[in-house]
A and B are shown apart, each in its own frame.
Chain A
Amino acid sequence: MSAPIDLPKWADTALVPAVSVVAAFLVAGLVVVGIGESPLTATRLLLQGSLGTGEGLGFTLFYATNFIFTGLAVAVAYHAGLFNIGAEGQATLAGLGTALVLLNFSFLPGFLLIPLGILGAAAFGALWGAIPGYLQAKRGSHIVITTIMFNWLASVLIVYLLVNVLREPTNMNPETRAFPEQSQIPFVHEILAVFGIEVAPSQLNLTFFLALAAAYAIWLLIYRSRLGYAIRTVGSNPTAAVYAGISPARIIVIAMVLSGALAGGLAVNELMGYQHRLLLEFTSGYGFVGIAVALMGRAHPLGIILASLLFGILYQGGAELSFERPAITRDMVVVIGGIIILFAGALEGLFRRIVARVLTPAMRQARA
């Protein structure tokens, strides 16, 4: 049973994840039945709310942007054989970086300030990823535990800074003053309005295209560059990497720097694109859902974009659904995320075996 299961490539990359996601939705459907609601009505409301209107579609893509960034963050580390559970904390620190840049350089024009703000987010996120990476590479502390601890350290730090240091004395809420107007990343509906195209306003902003560009860049990096090859080698066989003249320690730190910087994209989308200030808990679990996104997308940028769209639909549709059916709160998305992580991640072997059992006789027949 421990022999590797040989599956055709299409089954491996598409069918196994698809089967586990379908199974996850069936289980989620059971939960909906369990609380006395109809899964079919729920699905209809969910799709209507997320794809049925222009506004809904905008929000869906806005959430998908967050998931693309956190999914890529988890995936890059994953390719290097690392499990980064710290996207949440890295994005929190990235938010701090953005805020510090935007509030201190508010005299700069927008075309300088926006890239600087994005760099600030990437740099702080990268730093919060690099420390656990360094500790893993040089001191052998387990990256999973360190990134968990860094998540909590980040949340404690941000509470302290927002309550005691960065808050406006006149403001009762733990948040910074608004970012300068020229630093706000334009909304897509505003841009389209300039060209005379009217679409319903939503939170969707240009960061969405930054996320797509990041996905393409990561694809180039991982599958088409020397560094990407080194990252994948370290991930699949560190001993072989050493023989090939690659330093695993260096690659681990680089992968975590990239991972943290990508997680910073969440702060760019949420803060520079929508909230326009730094506030508590803006990461609201996107970092953890990123794990589900990366596992579902097989750590491939295209898969991650598709998985992010699915979770975007769930997030936006879930919000609309909970409006219509108060019993099905948005926590349903967290449940579905959890089941997908369990099925597509921890129980992957089980689903591979099921798929193989169904496929093998069929393939034999085709050959005969």
Chain B
Amino acid sequence: MDVSVFGGLFDSSLRLSIPLLAACLAGLWSERSGVVDIGLEGKMLVAAFAAAAAAHASGSAWVGLLAGTGAAVAFALIHGFASISQRGNQIVSGVAINMLAVGLTAIVGNAWYGQGGRTPPLEGAARFDEIFLGHSAPVFLTLLAVPVTWFVLGKTRFGLRLRAVGENPAAVDTAGISVTGLRYAAVIICGVLCGLAGTYLSVGQSAGFLPNMTAGKGFIALAALIFAKWRAWPALFTCFLFGVLDAVAIRLQGVSLPGIGEVPVQAIQALPYLLTVILLAGVIGKAIPPRASGSPYVKER
């Protein structure tokens, strides 16, 4: 394999892994604070739509990012209200968010543009330009989010408290710190990162929004989160690995490998899901989620 092919593979893997990474880090913040989020997919989708619509209207990709982030944070707050304030079931709320996102983006997109749910194609400044080494700004923002997440969660007082809320909220409460406040902060950060992921999909990677364009990326991000055992640096490596799988699958389409024959693309596509199932079953290592994740905090006993 010569260098240019290899370089091309690296670049496309990186591009494909960015939305996964941003969504994976989003899930990391939420779940580390004890709020399980299977609605990453839905938040990415609304962000992708809002970003494309705003970028089209304003002609600026950055306005798109702002709108995408705003939309994802709004949906994150719905999830937060249901699961933190109302102590509802977090899984149920996540399912609702995903369905709402699929339906709303399609309906509103169709009503606004009448193109079967698509937004008009974006061009010029309405898309993120390549700024460095052939990659656009959201790529670097997402990569930057990895050390920031690692540092803030691991090395600051806020991060320590946030992780404590995900393990033992009663202890944090006893120390006089608001469990609700910390969890809302985590959920909002989760929304911001989902906004980044969705915006990159519609305004960076593609030139506009397509119905259901997340196509399961939010769930692969969830798988990557489990694989990375809820930690920032491993999240980077896992998402890049899943990105490589995706890039290789695209390249191997219809190619016959010597000695193996044609590798079905679906076999490679199935790998992230399969690996996650195997990991969760404890066959290779063990993935243990934050202890209090999924359970609402009830103050008085």
Contacts and interface: CB of A to CB of B under 8 A. Distances in A.
Interface residues of A, number: 50
Given A156-B266, A157-B270, A350-B86, A335 B100 contact: yes
A35 B110 CA distance: 9
Chain B residues touching A, majority SS: helix
B96 A349 contact: no
B280 A139 contact: yes
A336 B300 CA distance: 35
Interface in A140-188: 140-142, 144-146, 148-150, 152-153, 156-157, 159-160, 164
B103 A342 contact: no
A349 B87 contact: yes
A240 B266 CA distance: 44
B219 interface: yes
Contact of B281 (A141, A326, A328): A141
Given A139-B281, A329-B110, A83 B91 contact: yes
A269 to B, nearest CB: 22
A222 B102 CA distance: 34
Given A149-B277, A346-B92, A346-B93, A338 B103 contact: yes
| Residue among A149, A295, A332 facing the most chain B CB atoms (10 A cut-off) | A149
A159 B215 CA distance: 15
A16 to B, nearest CB: 13
Nearest to B274: A153
Contacts of A160: 264, 266-267
| Residue among B103, B117, B269 facing the most chain A CB atoms (10 A cut-off) | B103
B78 interface: yes
A300 to B, nearest CB: 17
Nearest to B101: A338
Contact of B103 (A83, A291, A334): A334
A329 B92 CA distance: 25
A361 interface: no
Given A160-B267, A338-B100, A149 B111 contact: no
B88 A346 contact: yes
B147 interface: no
B20 to A, nearest CB: 14
Interface in B105-128: 106-108, 110-111, 117
A238 interface: no
Nearest to A348: B88
A135 B283 CA distance: 11
B221 to A, nearest CB: 12
Contacts of A331: 102-104, 106-107, 110, 117
Contacts of A36: 111
A335 B107 contact: yes
Contact of A146 (B87, B111, B280, B299): B280
A288 interface: yes
A365 interface: no
B99 interface: yes
A164 B277 contact: no
B222 A346 contact: no
Contact of A347 (B82, B101, B300): B82
Contacts of A139: 280-282
Contacts of A333: 103
Interface string B235-279: 000000000000000000000000000001011011001101100
B223 interface: yes
B277 A141 contact: yes
Given A145-B226, A341-B96, A35 B281 contact: no
B72 interface: no
Interface in B62-110: 78, 82-83, 86-93, 95-104, 106-108, 110
B270 to A, nearest CB: 5
Given A139-B282, A152-B219, A153-B273, 15 more contacts: A2-B298, A35-B108, A139-B281, A144-B38, A145-B226, A152-B216, A157-B266, A288-B99, A334-B100, A335-B99, A335-B104, A336-B103, A337-B99, A338-B96, A342-B97
Interface of A: 2, 31, 34-36, 83, 85, 135, 139-142, 144-146, 148-150, 152-153, 156-157, 159-160, 164, 288, 291-292, 295, 326-329, 331-339, 341-342, 345-350
Question: Across chains A and B, which 3 residue pairs bring their CB atoms closest together, nearest first?
Answer: A338-B99, A334-B103, A335-B103
